[in-house]
Structure 1
Amino acid sequence: MSHDATAFIKANLQLQAVPGLPEISLYIAHSGSRLSHLAKAKTGDAAAPYWAYAWAGGLALAHHFRAHPELIAGRTVLDLGAGSGLVGIAATMAGATAIAAEIDAYGRAAIALNATANCCMIDLVEIDLDGPPPIDIAVIAGGDVFYNAETAGRMLPFLQRCHAVGITVLIGDPQRRDLPVDQLVPIASYAVGDVGDARQTTQRQASVYRLR
């Protein structure tokens, strides 16, 4: 699967600079990317190619790491629900050691390709949201991880367990419906684009939060 996913991404997506973050390039979907062909072979959330786009929350975290590298330099950062790997790449460029967790096989292939394109090294790990906090992690960065109610219901308790053992938890989100705002403190906001916006649009506001 990983070989097929890698070949599909290289053949159908375009390596492009990220709007607002020109130092980072990602394989990004376009009108001719044939992503509907993948959806026909999958069901549920697995059919959604989250990894093929730069999402607002991930963009906010990437901007935050660029603006404040001292927060993560020399530390190990987990890019949780990594998608394209944008957040992990930004963390690496800010001086961190980045690892990434992503369940979609195409997403894992995209992370590897995007990391290579940006001269970064990002190891892939498996995370059990119903399990204990990961070890040897200083910072968890979750971009757009509260994208639906079911995932949010598992994500928040997991992140709270991680916070309780001393892991710094940072969330990037444009205030999607299932974001648990009562459990979060906003620490910065950035003008970014999002999935479905025009390619160069940076008119949406997305914030970086920490857990209360």
Structure 2
Amino acid sequence: MTRRVMRPTRRKTDDERRAFVLEHTKLAPVPLVPEVRLYWAESVTPVWFEVSRWLDDDDAAVPFWCVPWAGGQALARWVLDHPEVVRGARVLDFACGSGLVGLAATLAGGHVHAVDVDPLARVATELNAQANGLSLAVTTRDLVGEPLAGVDVLLAGDVWYEPKPSARFRRWFRKLASANKTVVTADSGRPHAPRLARELARYEVPTPFDLEAMTVRTARVLAM
């Protein structure tokens, strides 16, 4: 039997991450949120393939940062339509991806901290903030389960894809809501969205066919 030799993978620098994001995306307005421009691609799969090759990792995470997902667009639109929810508040853009929701909250007057477990998402969010002339804090960290003493409002776009992470998010969001924090998320028909949530709004979101296999997707904004 041949034993596979595991090659050590050199840690990428932020300069390399920035170059990667810029190489595989183009700066363009977001369909439902034209106030914001993002570096984004029309399809996730080719970028995912390139991430795996770049990192030499067949299990590389989905590059959620490379497109404006329907749920994130809906939540960003809702934030801009209801700025009173975040104006002057300490806001966490959870699982920020491209940073779209956090950028919308910044435009609406919130003091925003964006967080994601993917360092490419952090770099993409920083690039998108610069492209829009905005400033927000961005970190790479798993905050799930923490009490978030310095946060008033938690915003979470499209996060309801897989059963185990979704169950973990639901428990945490409910605990935060019971501690009188405002927790608002969005769902565009994902399989594990919370059922015990109040619908605040519903949007028909234009989406690239290559991304969702449809040109318009219905997305709901939900309060926990």
The normalised TM-score by structure 1 is 0.90
Structure 1 position 12, deviation (Å): 2.4
Distance 2:104 2:43 in 1: 26
Alignment match of 2:41 (pick from 12, 26, 29): 29
Distance 1:26 1:33 in 2: 18
Q: Which amino acid aligns with 2:204?
A: A
Q: Which one has the largest radius of gyration?
A: 2
Counterpart check, 1:210 vs 2:211: no
Q: Which amino acid aligns with 1:79?
A: D
Structure 1 position 163, deviation (Å): 1.1
Determine the structure 1 residue equivalent to 2:109.
95
Instruction: Tell me: CA distance 1:32–1:140, structure 2 relative to 1, closer, same or farther (3 Å).
Output: closer
Q: Which amino acid aligns with 2:205?
A: V
Distance 2:173 2:132 in 1: 29
Distance 1:133 1:32 in 2: 33
Counterpart check, 1:12 vs 2:24: yes
Counterpart check, 1:158 vs 2:143: no
Contact 1:56 1:194 in 2 (8 A): yes
Q: Structure 1, residues 99-132: CA drift from partner, whole Å, max 9, x if none?
A: 1111111111100000111111121243431x33
Q: Which amino acid aligns with 2:74?
A: A
Distance 1:42 1:32 in 2: 17
Structure 1 position 82, deviation (Å): 0.4
Counterpart check, 1:76 vs 2:85: no
Counterpart check, 1:42 vs 2:57: yes
Q: Secondary structure at the match of 2:36?
A: strand
Distance 1:32 1:206 in 2: 19
Q: Secondary structure at the match of 1:73?
A: coil
Counterpart check, 1:167 vs 2:195: no
Q: Higher relative CO (CA 8 A, sep ≥ 6), structure 1 or 2? A: 1
Query: Pairwise CA RMSD of aligned residues?
Result: 2.1
Q: Which amino acid aligns with 1:156?
A: R
The number of residue pairs the alignment matches comes to 206
Give the share of equivalent positions with the same residue, in percent. Answer: 34
Structure 1 position 31, deviation (Å): 6.4
Distance 2:119 2:31 in 1: 26
Structure 1 position 32, deviation (Å): 11
Counterpart check, 1:128 vs 2:143: yes
Which sections of structure 2, spanning at least 5 residues, go unmatched? 1-11
Distance 2:124 2:44 in 1: 17
Distance 2:194 2:43 in 1: 33
The normalised TM-score by structure 2 is 0.85
Alignment match of 1:192 (pick from 205, 211, 217): 205
Determine the structure 1 residue equivalent to 2:77.
63
Q: Secondary structure at the match of 1:23?
A: coil
Q: Secondary structure at the match of 1:47?
A: coil
